[in-house]
Amino acid sequence: MKQVGIIGSGTWGTALGILLIHNGNQVTLWSAFEKEAEDIRTKRKHRNLPEAAIPESMEITADLETAMEGKDVLILAVPSIYVRETARKMAPFCKEGQIVVNVAKGIEESSLLVLSQVIEEELPQACVTVLSGPSHAEEVSRLLPTTCVVGAKSRRTAEILQKLFMNEAFRVYTSPDMIGIELGAALKNVIALAAGIADGLGYGDNTKAALITRGIAEIGRLGAAMGGKLQTFAGLSGIGDLIVTCASMHSRNRRAGILIGQGRSMEEAMEEVKMVVEGVYSAKAALALSKQYQIPMPIVEQVNAVLFDGKPAADAVRDLMLRDRQIENPALEWEDESEEK
């Protein structure tokens, strides 16, 4: 049995807490708000996970030191825009070599760092790792079969976490490619917004399939330029997470995109979804990275135009369809290069 502190009481942090207690661990869940902590503690329910029961053994607190003290593993599960601020608050209570698992998905807009890099800046004494994959909290909290990947700099640390999380309903693979895992996790939210917009416009399965396949091509190109491995983008945190986020109504990014496609503004869509829509915060960072690394990302460009420049969604789709003719994969060679007479 391990002592685990979960820093962040959103749906994902709470679902992982339920999973880890099921695995026989002792879990403390931290909320930034005393009222929320008290509500979860007394009702043993999370307002956004109505089908999940929170075990009586899960300790709920609004005191950060209590949540961190004596823990074998800390899971940082706050929305991406709060990762740096929260990690900074954690610093006084973080011991040397402390394993910190980042489960948030995003890119910091101001620095263009992935979140593990942000955490390392604020917690240089910690051993920072990442867990990601196609894993909606609503299903994990009910112990429905799910598969994820844990990334770490050392095999030993990855295997410790694999053993911690894995059970008959939650299969975990290991990988050393932390940058690839995090880029896949963050960028798929931007593509999922595009998929939702297409749904909102009334387009069909063909459109969504095109966005998913061309979306992973964009993610893979940028990810490889930044040091990620192409095999990672073909795996759970790449195409796997992209498929589930583009297809499921559990996906807040897809739901926000649907509303935008139906004519809502970005602000109206985020208000109606009532949870943090990570793709909105990652979209600008993704566009900035594409320019920095000189990687064309037409879907990301059009999502930014719709979100921040007031471009009509239907015009964005039309412009994607009317781009210059392209070879699907420039790395493939023609058997016959001779010109027809």
Please determine, for residue 340, whether its predicted confidence score (pLDDT) is greater than 60: no
Please determine, for residue 341, whether its predicted confidence score (pLDDT) is greater than 50: no
CA angle 5, 6, 8 (to 5 degrees): 145
Tell me what pLDDT residue 274 has. Answer: 81
CA angle 261, 280, 90 (to 5 degrees): 155
Tell me what pLDDT residue 339 has. Answer: 58
How far apart (Å, rounded) are the C-alpha atoms in residues 259 and 279?
A: 14
How far apart (Å, rounded) are the C-alpha atoms in residues 147 and 143?
A: 11
Range from 21-35, 267-281, 293-307 carrying the lowest mean pLDDT: 267-281
Tell me what pLDDT residue 20 has. Answer: 98
Tell me phi and psi for residue 26, to 5 degrees: -95, 125
CATH 3.40.50.720 in the chain: give the residue spans. 3-176
Look up the CATH number of domain 3-176. Answer: 3.40.50.720
How far apart (Å, rounded) are the C-alpha atoms in residues 204 and 302?
A: 19
179-321: CATH, from 3.30.565.10, 3.40.35.10, 3.30.70.420, 1.10.1040.10? 1.10.1040.10
Model pLDDT for residues 87-126, shown as the tens digit of each residue = 999 999 999 999 999 999 999 999 999 999 999 999 999 9
Q: What percent of the chain has pLDDT over 70?
A: 99
User: Measured in whole angstroms, how far is the alpha carbon of residue 267 from the centre of its chain?
Assistant: 21
CATH 1.10.1040.10 in the chain: give the residue spans. 179-321
Mean pLDDT of 209-226: 95
Tell me what pLDDT residue 131 has. Answer: 98
Which residues carry out catalysis? 188
Asked whether the beta carbons of 104 and 77 are under 8 A apart, the reply is yes
In whole numbers, what is the pLDDT of the chain averaged over residues?
95
List of residues 6+ apart from 125 with CB closer than 8 A: 94, 95, 96, 97, 98
